[in-house]
């Protein structure tokens, strides 16, 4: 597999994993431990939000337990998937530039 395919494949795999995490979350009762999987799956966003705000997880208040978590999870997964894509694009560009310099 070419390296250039990874910039599409890894974000796609991350989003597919998010579907499994959300399905698992939606099957659990709304208690304090139900959202641990969501928090761990989006850990970079959780850590960043904790540094910037004092708001409690899930950081959104749109109307209910599942709605709040859905808004947070959709936003976080989107940010991480897009971030992965751009990070892999930058790494590909760096790798291409580096290999051109070595020739």
Q: Along the 103 residues of the chain, how does pLDDT read in single tens digits? A: 566 788 899 999 999 999 999 999 999 888 778 889 999 999 999 999 989 888 888 888 878 888 989 999 999 999 999 999 999 999 988 888 877 777 6
DSSP 56: P
Length of the chain in residues, anyone? 103
Q: Which residues contact 26 (CB under 8 A, 6 or more apart)?
A: 66
pTM above the 0.75 mark? yes
């Amino acid at each position: 597999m070419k390296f250039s395919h990874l910039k599409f494949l890894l974000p796609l795999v991350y989003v597919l994993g998010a579907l499994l995490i959300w399905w698992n979350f939606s099957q659990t009762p709304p208690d304090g431990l139900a959202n641990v999987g969501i928090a761990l799956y989006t850990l970079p966003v959780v850590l960043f939000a904790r540094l910037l705000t004092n708001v409690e997880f899930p950081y959104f208040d749109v109307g209910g337990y599942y709605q709040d978590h859905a808004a947070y999870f959709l936003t976080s997964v989107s940010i991480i998937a897009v971030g992965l894509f751009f990070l892999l694009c930058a790494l590909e560009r760096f790798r291409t530039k580096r290999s051109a310099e070595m020739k």
